[in-house]
Amino acid sequence: FRRVLFRSQKVRKTMTPSFLKGLVHCGSCNVLMHQTCSNKKGLQYRYYTCSNHLKYKSCEASQHTFPAEIIEKRVVEEIIRILKSPEVVMSLNRLAERRKDVSKADLMTAIKNLNDVWNFLYQAEQRKIVHMLINKIVIQENGIKIDLNLEDFESLIMQLA
């Protein structure tokens, strides 16, 4: 009886959850991409894979799987690049003038130290920031397209300051 019970229990792989969950789409068929993983020689490799490909449905892309680490790194680099752009800095100056609870210096320090701060955030905090700033990420064989949501930008900056 114990053997039957043991066999019927599903073995689940533990996988680091992605802070991009629900945002990454296939550039060819426009469906969500799911995080998948493989384990080789004691190391875990994470990927984003087209849902249609996983379900054996039609997807015209020649590449269906992309390394998660590379995608996540590029998305974070793009977010930081955008947050440090001159347009954003000007918006921060205007925000500091309108609001009395935060100074220009505090806002500029928050943006200047964004790279360092990002690495110390918990994954739940990173996910919250990413989901506030990004509507959709489209992965294509020739690159990544990020559709930004700048409506929540002010509230995000106030949290970082």
Per-residue pLDDT reduced to its tens digit, 66-81: 899 999 999 888 888 8
Residue 3 reports pLDDT greater than 50: no
Residues 53, 36: Cα–Cα separation, whole Å: 12
Each residue's pLDDT tens digit, 35-50:
988 888 888 889 998 9
Rounded to a whole number of angstroms, the CA Rg of the chain reads 20
What are the Cα distances from residue 73, in Å, to 20, 49, 67, 76?
A: 11, 17, 10, 5
Residue 23 reports pLDDT greater than 80: yes
Average pLDDT, integer, range 76-91: 82
pTM above 0.85, yes or no: no
Question: What band does 153 get if pLDDT is binned at 50, 70 and 90?
Answer: low
Residues 148, 132: Cα–Cα separation, whole Å: 9
14 or 114, higher pLDDT:
114
**Beta carbons of 96 and 41 less than 8 angstroms apart:** no
